[in-house]
Chain A
Amino acid sequence: MDEEPERAKRWEGGYERTWEILKEDESGSLKATVEEILFQAKRKRVFESHGQVRLGMMRHLCVVIDTSRTMEDQDLKPNRLTSTLKVRKRGDRGDVGIITTKNKRAEKLTDLAGNPKKHIAALRNAKDSTCGGEPSLYNSLNLAMQTLKHMPAHSSKEVLIILSSLTTCDPANIYDLVKTLKALKIRVSVIGLSAEVRVCTVLTRETGGSYHVILDESHFRELLMFHVKPPPASASSECSLIRMGFPQHTIASLSDQDAKPSFSQAHLDSTSGGPGLSLGGYFCPQCHAKYTELPVECKICGLTLVSAPHLARSFHHLFPLEAFQESPLELHQGERFCVACQGELRDKSVFTCPWCCSVFCVECDLFIHDILHCCPSCIHSRP
């Protein structure tokens, strides 16, 4: 279902004048430009390393999704809403809450929580909901502000608005609210789905966020990925150490007759079904409350419970892998095979790791930087 609409309704593309970027080479062939375009698309995501900058690793992010009338526009297939929700699925360390806005009101879809599963479920439900009316920037920001206001000062408080509409229906002067947000150090970023709106420009500029407008779906995805990366922390935010618990997962073996199924603390207040009782789980090292999923904040003692991989996931943001050096294939001497995939190097550029001087193809370069976050060859050579 997810992949299907991408290809299916191409005729709805209407007047996307893709031929405009094409240029014929000297022999009249288009091949070179097509390859160039594909190549550029692959390399687009540039790694701008922040260098030694303190990053706001503890993020509290409110995602505001516009579900107004304009979301039904078909310029992203099959319509803007489905496309948006599709793109939204991603995992990250940090607490996320989702707010939707339509009919001049704002509703909280999910509370701030670190667990991505719940959000994804909620989003899946939202996919079928209807869009209508006008969004209200004021109301949704206000709601987000109420949620974020009480977060500790060391964490980075952010609001990400995915705005499709070009108008907003506000009950009061939004510029007052912008001032309040600025005072509370809440960073507001906006991804516009249609065009640049003045009020968003001001909003993001004042609160220190970023403002982007998408060009097409892939650009949209890219912009969202940009927001995954933690922003540099502002100098004024205080630093503090955070107590964290690393509970071990204990599974009472089925053979153990004494094991009794018990409730997870997280499930106690959730109305959504799911298996209430389970045998094993994570036990808070401080108060031994049981949880089935991590990361979570202990309901009893307030300790942040994480597992080591969760922390590791954020680690690469602090020490990103350096970009590989690009050089034309002709200049490359030595083996004509990619170190990672063992495939032949056919593209016109190759990528060299500055540390171990191994050579990679484009695909592997992207895979290493996007997913692995470490050079496989370096790991071999540096025990």
Chain B
Amino acid sequence: MKLNIEGLLVYFPYDYIYPEQYSYMLELKRTLDAKGHGVLEMPSGTGKTISLLSLIVAYQRAYPLEVTKLIYCSRTVPEIEKVVEELRKLMEYYSKEAGEKNNFLALALSSRKNLCVHPEVSSLRFGKEVDGKCHSLTASYIRAQRHSNPSLPSCRFYEEFDALGRQVPLPAGVYNLDDLKDFGRRKGWCPYYLARYSIVHANIIVYSYHYLLDPKIADLVSKELAKKSVVVFDEAHNIDNVCIDSMSVNITRRTLDRSQANVETLQSTILKIKETDAAKLKEEYRRLVEGLKEANVARETDIYMSNPVLPDEVLQEAVPGSIRTAEHFVGFMKRFLEYLKARLRIHHVVQESAPQFLKDISEKVCIDRKPLRFCAERLRSLLRTLEIADIADFSAITLISNFATLVSTYSKGFTIIIEPFEDRTPTIANPVLHFSCMDPSIAIKPVFERFQSVIITSGTLSPLDIYPRILDFHPVTTASFTMTLARTCLCPLVCNLRNPQHGAFWEGGEGPVIRNYGNLLLEMSAIVPDGIVAFFTSYIYMENIVASWYEQGILENVQRNKLIFIETPDAAETSMALEKYQEACENGRGAILLSVARGKVSEGIDFVHHFGRAVIMFGVPYVYTQSRILKARLEYLRDQFQIRENDFLTFDAMRHAAQCVGRAIRGKTDYGLMIFADKRYARADKRGKLPRWIQEHLTDGSLNLTIDETVQLSKHFLRQMAQPFKQEDQLGLSLLTLEQLQSEEMLQKIAQIAHQV
């Protein structure tokens, strides 16, 4: 249907529309009009993706000069594929309705592993291997060498692409990963480089967060993207953690040993080159004197997105003399490594700030701040000069040099923690240096600064006001949308089972709670059909509980009703368990999946319809509060952003709880029970932090229930939901035709859906 959203003609590829989709588009349009950033929360399964796509595409068509590009970031490859499929549907609708062939180019981008078509390289199993192998075939100096020695192996796809691919742009259309591969095979071009080249002029790009947030990758892939782009982060409830991870460095003894080996290799290579090709090193030296001026010019003229690892000051200066020659630099790195090694030889925990660390290093081994800052850039230049083919081998030393640059660049927002052993195994020495980023805004800052509109959206973003604070930006729109329902298909219940403390496992006094948990599971297994997913707060906690259940004979009784599957930290085991779980749900045997909040299952795996008729959340999934990194981060949040520790912990726990229970409802025809088995959820501070679409259905009558009451309510709910439910029932209420949408009454109702914060 064709919608008129405040004067903008939007093509929507379906005959019906949910009221909240309309409302979502309204808010989105206002955000784009204001050229600002937005935070939008809308429940999963209400067609967020298609609303986003249809509105932004319409906007791009209407104002081609205002918005030139849409950058859609999602988390996993299947999600990326889903977005592309929606987009394809939209484009088909456009060409059908408008009658003309539109010249939109949309494509997905992923790693070499997912895009490589080279018969040998693509058969490798790990992403790193593929990258390394590809590099050894396609690096510029390798290809230069081939001119003199044609017997060297080459990648014909890359060669073809390099010869012809850049002259003609990729024909307009929608390309997912497989389409790109097909196209590449047909033309004999490398799909990966083709895609990377094409994103510059593509109208829509769909790729992973990391291409924009991880400075190492963003520098390669995304730095030339136009300023007038709209960036969308979908499923963004964990975006702060992604930011932090991309800026943090963990150094173990193993890393140091491998770096040591790297340095040795560098040294011998330098010696060799010196004998054969001294001019090359001289040339490099000259370049370094001139400094990184080129990069600076590019950034000033707005061509490149800035890279947080490469601070502005570095660009304006020449590389300091002490590390300009190759030998000196290697010697410098050696000293630095020795220093780190010495630091790791400790028996107690050390925590210090970056300035403290810099002071110490200058006192002990006379390394100044300035050369440290150039470390990353200098190493890159050296690796280029030495023509080392297999970059993957040098990941350890690259990591160290990144650390050096970061630690000397940022005096705020980072902390250094050196732990001599892990908390769980205090007897085994395993020293780790955590260089931990505490401020997610550092990594995402360039994105907010460079792009005109950044939209952060997910099914669970509550409380909405905390994201702008921790990411340090000012959104023009912050809105939460509820789900309009023809029948209440979600049933959140809070069970009171005398809670344990903070989700951690205490030896004493836990018995009755565990037994109650067991009884709840047992009762639910008897009345809920097909699949139940139960979430625990941690693996250790789950192990302990399952062991006690086994002793108490609860497991045996549960197994009479349903099969039991357990998630483990091992990915292969878990996916096996998942597969069998789904099979058991499919053929009527029924199954229970015991899993862990924050685990693989809780993020990204959907339990549609019969795969998840009930979700039980045992306890409140607080993060492990004893961790020093967390403590440092909490302190930082309190000092810098005035967010109290408790608020942040609760926020973090509740967003994970919401994620977990949200797994059960993936659309309006779906239904599911959400059982919070901990009375703390009934408290206002927890309840208030749940997404509004769940909160709405959490009435006083569904709080503080006993097991019996829960069972009765669930039974009633399940019977109610099993009654036939047709599309006609939804029409006019939660599903609208164009005429219904235009009625005055409905527009008023729609205005209430969006809840501005």
A196 in contact with B718 (CB, 8 Å): yes
**How far, in angstroms, from A15 to B710 measured CA to CA in the complex?**
10
Q: Find chain B residues with CB under 8 A from A200 CB.
A: 588
Among residues 565 to 622 in chain B, which have CB atoms less than 8 Å away from a CB atom of chain A? 585-590, 609-610, 613
Among residues 1 to 39 in chain A, which have CB atoms less than 8 Å away from a CB atom of chain B? 14-17
Among the 9-residue stretches B339-347, B521-529, B539-547, B735-743, the one with 4 or more Cβ atoms under 8 Å from chain A is B521-529
Among the 9-residue stretches B162-170, B207-215, B658-666, B719-727, the one with 4 or more Cβ atoms under 8 Å from chain A is B719-727
Among the 9-residue stretches A167-175, A291-299, A301-309, the one with 4 or more Cβ atoms under 8 Å from chain B is A167-175
Among residues 61 to 77 in chain A, which have CB atoms less than 8 Å away from a CB atom of chain B? 69-70, 75
Q: Find chain B residues with CB under 8 A from A167 CB.
A: 561-562, 588-590
**How far, in angstroms, from A344 to B667 measured CA to CA in the complex?**
51
Q: Find chain A residues with CB under 8 A from B720 CB.
A: 215
A174 in contact with B529 (CB, 8 Å): no
**A199 contacts which of B527, B588, B723, B724 (Cβ < 8 Å)?**
B588
**A15 contacts which of B530, B709, B722 (Cβ < 8 Å)?**
B709
**How far, in angstroms, from A15 to B717 measured CA to CA in the complex?**
13
**How far, in angstroms, from A170 to B530 measured CA to CA in the complex?**
15
Q: Given A75-B715, A199-B588, answer yes or no on A194-B527 (Cβ-Cβ < 8 Å).
A: yes
**How far, in angstroms, from A169 to B563 measured CA to CA in the complex?**
11
B589 in contact with A169 (CB, 8 Å): yes
Q: Find chain A residues with CB under 8 A from B733 CB.
A: none
Q: Does B708 contact A (CB under 8 A)?
A: yes
Among residues 167 to 204 in chain A, which have CB atoms less than 8 Å away from a CB atom of chain B? 167-170, 173-175, 192, 194-201
A198 in contact with B529 (CB, 8 Å): yes
Chain B window 118-132, contacts with chain A (Cβ cutoff 8 Å), 1 for yes, 0 for no: 000000000000000
Chain B window 700-712, contacts with chain A (Cβ cutoff 8 Å), 1 for yes, 0 for no: 0000000011001
Chain B binding surface, main DSSP class: helix
**A166 contacts which of B561, B716, B724 (Cβ < 8 Å)?**
B561
**How far, in angstroms, from A168 to B590 measured CA to CA in the complex?**
8
A168 in contact with B526 (CB, 8 Å): no
Q: Find chain B residues with CB under 8 A from A55 CB.
A: none
Chain A binding surface, main DSSP class: loop
**How far, in angstroms, from A168 to B591 measured CA to CA in the complex?**
12
What's the nearest-Cβ distance from chain B to residue A24, in Å?
17
**How far, in angstroms, from A14 to B721 measured CA to CA in the complex?**
21
Q: Does A368 contact B (CB under 8 A)?
A: no
Closest A residue to B589 by CB, please name it. Answer: A167
Q: Does B713 contact A (CB under 8 A)?
A: yes
Q: Find chain B residues with CB under 8 A from A215 CB.
A: 719-720, 723
**B529 contacts which of A16, A196, A212 (Cβ < 8 Å)?**
A196
Q: Find chain A residues with CB under 8 A from B609 CB.
A: 198
Q: Does A350 contact B (CB under 8 A)?
A: no
Q: Does A266 contact B (CB under 8 A)?
A: no
Closest B residue to A193 by CB, please name it. Answer: B719
**How far, in angstroms, from A69 to B526 measured CA to CA in the complex?**
10
**How far, in angstroms, from A364 to B527 measured CA to CA in the complex?**
40
**How far, in angstroms, from A288 to B613 measured CA to CA in the complex?**
60
Most B Cβ at <10 Å: residue of A15, A173, A201: A15
A/B interface sample: 16 pairs, CB < 8 A: A17-B716, A134-B560, A166-B528, A194-B529, A195-B527, A195-B528, A195-B721, A196-B718, A198-B530, A198-B588, A199-B586, A200-B588, A212-B723, A212-B724, A213-B722, A213-B723
Apart from A195-B719, A198-B588, what are 15 other A-B pairs with CB-CB below 8 Å? Answer: A14-B712, A15-B708, A15-B709, A16-B712, A137-B588, A166-B528, A166-B530, A167-B562, A167-B588, A170-B587, A194-B718, A195-B528, A197-B530, A199-B587, A213-B722
